Amino acid sequence: MSQKQKVDTIKNDKPRAKDDLLALEAKYCSWGDTVHYVNNPNIFKRCEGSYLYDDEGVEFLDLQMLYSACNFGYANPRLNNALKKQIDTLPQLACQYLHEEKVLLASRLAQRAERTFEEKGRVHFNVGGSTAVEDSLKLVRNHTGRNLVFAFMGGYHGRTIAVSAITSSFRYRQHFGHFGDRAMFIPYPYCFRCPYGKKKDSCGMYCLKQFEKLFETEYYGVVNKKDNVCEFAAFYIESIQGTGGYVIPPREYFAGLKEILDRYNILMVDDEIQMGFFRTGKFWAIEHFGVTPDIIVFGKAMTNGLNPLSAIWAKEALISPKVFPPGSTHSTFSSNPLGTATALEVMDLIDESDFASEVSKKGRYFITRLKALQKKYPQIGDVDGLGLALRIELCQKDGYTPNKELTDAIEQIGLSGRLSAGGKRRGLVLDVGGYYKNAFTLAPSLYITEKEIDLGVDLFEEAFLKALKGS
x/- track of binding to ligand PLP for residues 258-297 (CB under 6 A): -------------x-xx-----------------------
Q: Which residues make Cβ contacts (< 8 Å) with residue 170, sequence separation at least 6?
A: none
Shortest Cβ 300–ligand PLP spacing (Å):
6
445-461 as b/e, with b when 16 or more CB fall inside 10 Å?
bbbbeeebbebbbbbbb
Binding mask 396-435 for ligand PLP (x = CB under 6 A): ----------------------------------------
Smaller CB distance to ligand PLP: residue 272 or 462?
272
Q: Shortest Cβ contact with ligand PLP: which residue?
A: 129
Least Å distance between CB 129 and ligand PLP? 2
Helices 253-263 and 206-213: crossing angle in degrees, nearest 10, is 10
* Mutual angle of helices 404-415 and 450-470, in 10-degree steps: 120
Which C-beta is closer to ligand PLP: that of 187 or that of 399? 187
C-alpha 428/C-alpha 58 separation (Å) is: 10
- Return all residues near 55 (Cβ < 8 A) that are at least 6 apart: 15, 18, 43, 45
Tell me how far apart the alpha carbons of residues 215 and 228 are, in angstroms, rounded to a whole number: 9
Task: Please pick, from the candidates 73, 242, 363, 385, the single residue that binds ligand PLP as defined by CB under 6 A.
Answer: 242
By CB under 6 A, residue 299 contacts ligand PLP: yes
| Near ligand PLP by CB under 6 A: residue from 50, 79, 99, 128 | 128
With contact defined as beta carbons under 8 Å apart, do 250 and 189 qualify? yes
Q: Judged by CB under 6 A, which stretch of 209-217, 237-245, 352-360, 425-433 contacts ligand PLP? A: 237-245
Residue 336 is a binding residue for ligand PLP (CB under 6 A) = no
* Touching ligand PLP, residues 448-467 (CB under 6 A): none
**Spacing of C-alpha 307 from chain mean position:** 17
Do residues 296 and 270 lie in contact, with contact meaning Cβ atoms separated by under 8 Å?
Answer: yes
Residues in 142-181 at the binding interface with ligand PLP, rule: CB under 6 A:
156-158
Q: How many CB atoms lie within 10 A of CB 38?
A: 13
Among 238, 270, 345, 384, binds ligand PLP (CB under 6 A): 238
| Residue 130 touches ligand PLP, criterion: CB under 6 A | yes
> How far does the chain reach from its first CA to its final CA, in angstroms?
51
Contact between 129 and ligand PLP per CB under 6 A: yes
- Beta bridge pairs of residue 151: 185, 236
Q: Does 441 bind ligand PLP (CB under 6 A)?
A: no
The Cα 298–Cα 454 span in angstroms is 31
Total residues in contact with ligand PLP, by rule CB under 6 A: 15
Contacting positions for ligand PLP (CB under 6 A): 67, 128-130, 133, 156-158, 238, 242-243, 271, 273-274, 299
